[in-house]
Chain A
Amino acid sequence: MKAWSFWFRRLIASENTTRCFSFRYSMLPNFFEAGFCADLSALDEQVKNRLVDYTYEAGKDNDGVLRAISYQACPGSVIYRRDIAKDVFGTDDPDEIGKLFASFSAIEDTAKKLQEKGYTIFGDTGALRWFSNSSSPWVNDKGEIIVDQDRLDYFDCAVELYQKEYVAFAPEWSAAWYASMAGPLPMHAEWSALDEVAGNETTQIFSYVMPSWGALIVRDNAGDNKGLYGVCSGVCSFFGGGTFLTVNEYSEHKEAAQQFIEFCTLDDDTARWWLEASNGDVVSNLAVLEENKDYENESFGNQKTYSFFMGEMDKIDYSLVTGYDDACKDAFGAAIISVQKGEMTKQEALEDFYKVVITTYPELSIPADAPIYN
């Protein structure tokens, strides 16, 4: 949550004419707590029955009162290059490729095989962060910070991929990362302009781990590679982002605002229109998704992408989400970087991770079986 959103929150509270507003998923808890979002319980049953389950759960506050609704669903996937898959693994079948990403150890093996043929598995190791909620929440009911075996595997995998140069060192949103979707890119481009690193050794990125909106980014930047992509499952199902709509608690026209939100999120025709207008976004409306589940997406080698994303959404476990996730992920990511760059040992980095989280949130504790005590 950046500084601008703090001022935005103040603006909402003071502006009585704003009837409803939209915001990112990550802002939901703060907006709920600030009391800006009106009670939408009247739509609860409809949302529960007609929209994707995790979006319904995300739209509820701590007391279980529905306060925000999304027209979107953003399940995650591994977006991979079919031509590279055939070249290295002899198949581009999503189920088979999914096995190559089924665990962190499988990812390490996959990365090694790709490197032998001159490819890199990801832009950079940040792609792995999406799999950090694989089996446990970051903070359990007792307020303990959880670093289970899956998270340790994620840690080791990120370090290995970095140190063995299995990735291209092109971070998400960098010029090189965008360029990689259409073809070869220079290694170690980092945040440089492409012409600055034109002399570097080149590679091709095999896959991108992103929520469903990421598939649209890949499609739009694929250039001549359009149609050469596929989507498959990764280590675990996840979701990321998404736009939510809510009624301003301070509005004098809550009823009209609620009707508008109902129209935007629960109306089948609106969902159909958005599906077409956005040219491939995943909506939260289950009936409309069901209608389109056999749609063959030519940008993804005629794969039935809606059907795939529906399957991924079913596997999302919203109980693993906590209000501490962003802070924990950031601190864990920083710990990984420290080891990748050789600034710390794994033990020191994990101790530092706990120190950062505990200092930021003194109400949390380190469990007796934490890996730093082993």
Chain B
Amino acid sequence: MAVKAKKNTEAAAQPKKGLIQRRDRKGIWFCLPFVITFLVFNIYPVFRTLQMSFMSYKGFGKETFIWFDNYTRAFKDSLFWDAFLNTLKMWGVNIVLQLGLALLLTIIFNDMKYRMRGLSIFRALFYLPNLIACTSVAFLFKTLLDWRFGTVNQILLDAGIISAPVNWLTGEGLTAQMVVGVVGAWMWFGNSFIMLMAGVQGIDRSYFEAATIDGAGRWKMFTKVTMPLLRPIMLYVAVTSLIGGLQLFDLPYLLSGTKGQPGRSLFTAVFYLYDMAFNKNQMGYAAALAFVLFLIISVFCAIAFKLMNRKED
């Protein structure tokens, strides 16, 4: 027995050359398409962008190494910081509406009193705007919000809410920014709703039962049970929204007719970066802006994590 056990131990300790190694090799072949695609389309661009950020480079011709000049310029670039502020404004409106609406719907759909039916249908309906291409959404809202012929102004005028057509997208910069925030919230609240619903449904029912027995009302239940237990999901939604929101580009680009107007108010950080790279041919500087943006997003994410986990600490 002792000899047999020793043999087993030795066999376990030695690398299994035959069958397992062949299996490993097959596994590598299965992984290879993803690995190659990942290396070529994710890893290489990141390192190439980093390299370019230290260069004076137009996207063609000579590349000159200029150390941190692009980064120094980025920190002094008032237009970039204006664009970043615009991004924050648009994202701010977006996240408040997006999370607020998603949370409200989550409460309604989870409240035993309302006994809402057809959750799967509503979930699909709420998620639908996420599936529509941003170009189509932009075109749709551009048509709806046209200040002379748009449906929104017609309805508001007919209802007597406004006395003159509102210039939603080409008038005041702030109005246009708010519009982008609202449209973004409409596009993405369905996704947040699904996340929050999954989070709420993952909470053990016994907590709610215990709270009911203890005499907690619906508001107490929501603030003392649901919200604390939802915090990890809220954090996830907020962080992913922040990462996406600070990279906002397509919606303002299309809604402003690719110009960022009125008065550069729809110029976001990524829009500015794009303009520098492909319209102004300053590829090196645009690469540095991309990394500055990456740093900013990292800092914001760290702050978000810190704030959301503060109580637990």
Q: Is there contact, CB below 8 Å, between A192 and B263? A: no
A1-23 contacts to B (CB < 8 Å): 1-3, 6, 9-10, 13
Cβ B263 vs Cβ A343 within 8 A: yes
Contact A192 B281 (CB under 8 A): no
Known interface pairs A30-B281, A360-B280, A362-B73; A355-B59 also in contact (CB < 8 Å): no
| A33 in complex: contacting residue of B60, B276, B278, CB < 8 Å | B60
CB-nearest residue of chain A relative to B69?
A362
| Set of chain A residues within 8 Å of B73, measured between Cβ atoms | 362
Q: Any chain A CB within 8 A of the CB of B261?
A: yes
| Docked-complex contact B261 and A9, CB < 8 angstroms | no
List the A side residues contacting B281 at CB < 8 Å: 1, 6, 30
Whether A338 touches B77, Cβ cut-off 8 Å, given contacts A33-B60, A34-B61, is: no
Mark contacts of A187-199 with chain B using CB atoms, 8 A cut-off: 1 yes-contact digit, 0 otherwise: 0100010001100
Q: Mark A310-346, 1 if CB is under 8 A from B, else 0.
A: 0000000000000000010000001001100101100
- Residues of A contacting B280 with CB < 8 Å? 327, 360
Q: Is there an interface contact between B60 and A1, defined as CB atoms closer than 8 Å? A: no
Instruction: Collect the chain A residues with CB atoms within 8 Å of residue B261's CB.
Output: 334, 337
Chain B residues lying within 8 Å of A192, measured Cβ to Cβ, are 148-149
Contact A2–B279 (Cβ < 8 Å): yes
Q: Mark A26-57, 1 if CB is under 8 A from B, else 0.
A: 00001001111000000000000000000000
Contacts of A337 in B (CB 8 A): 261
Q: Which residues of B contact A2 (CB under 8 A)?
A: 278-279
Known contacts A334-B261, A343-B262; is A355 also within 8 Å of B79 by CB? yes
Is B223 part of the binding interface, using a Cβ–Cβ cutoff of 8 Å? Answer: no
Question: Nearest-CB distance from A341 to chain B (Å)?
Answer: 7
In the complex, what distance in Å separates the CA atom of A13 from the CA atom of B264? Answer: 35
Size of chain A's interface in residues, with CB distance under 8 A?
A: 28
Provide the main secondary structure of the chain A interface.
Answer: helix
User: In the complex the two chains form, is B79's CB within 8 Å of A33's CB?
Assistant: no
Specify which chain A residues have a CB less than 8 angstroms from the CB of B277 in the assembled complex. 6
The smallest C-beta distance from A69 to any residue of chain B, in angstroms, reads: 21
Please, which residues of chain A bring their CB within 8 A of the CB of B89? none
User: What residues on B are CB-neighbors of A35 within 8 Å?
Assistant: 60-61
Please indicate the chain B residues that have their CB under 8 angstroms from the CB of A355 in the complex: 78-79
Q: Does A356 contact B (CB under 8 A)?
A: yes
**Inter-subunit contact B279/A9 (CB<8 Å):** no
Contacts of A338 in B (CB 8 A): 263
A196 B60 Cβ-Cβ under 8 A: no
CA distance A35 to B63 in the complex (A): 13
Determine the distance from Cα of A3 to Cα of B280 in the docked complex, in whole angstroms.
Answer: 10
Q: Which of A6, A334, A359, A360 contacts B278 (CB 8 A)?
A: A6
Shortest beta-carbon distance, B132 to chain A, in Å?
23
Chain B residue with Cβ nearest A344: B263
Q: Within the complex, which residue of A6, A360, A362 is in contact with B59, where a contact is CB–CB below 8 Å?
A: A6
Q: How far is B148's CA from A188's CA once the two chains are assembled, in angstroms?
A: 10
A344 CA to B172 CA in the complex, in Å? 12
What 1/0 mask marks residues of chain B from 67 to 78 whose CB sits below 8 Å from any chain A CB?
000000100011
29 A-B residue contacts at CB 8 Å? Answer: A2-B278, A3-B278, A6-B60, A6-B278, A9-B60, A10-B60, A13-B60, A30-B58, A30-B60, A33-B58, A34-B60, A34-B61, A35-B61, A36-B60, A188-B148, A192-B149, A196-B149, A327-B280, A334-B261, A337-B261, A341-B262, A343-B262, A343-B263, A344-B263, A356-B79, A359-B77, A359-B78, A360-B280, A362-B73
Q: Using a CB–CB distance below 8 Å, which chain B residues touch chain A?
A: 58-61, 73, 77-79, 148-149, 173, 261-264, 274, 276-282
Chain A positions within 8 Å of B, measured between CB atoms, are 1-3, 6, 9-10, 13, 30, 33-36, 188, 192, 196-197, 327, 334, 337-338, 341, 343-344, 355-356, 359-360, 362
Closest 9 CB pairs of A and B: A34-B60, A3-B278, A33-B61, A359-B79, A34-B61, A343-B263, A9-B60, A6-B59, A196-B149
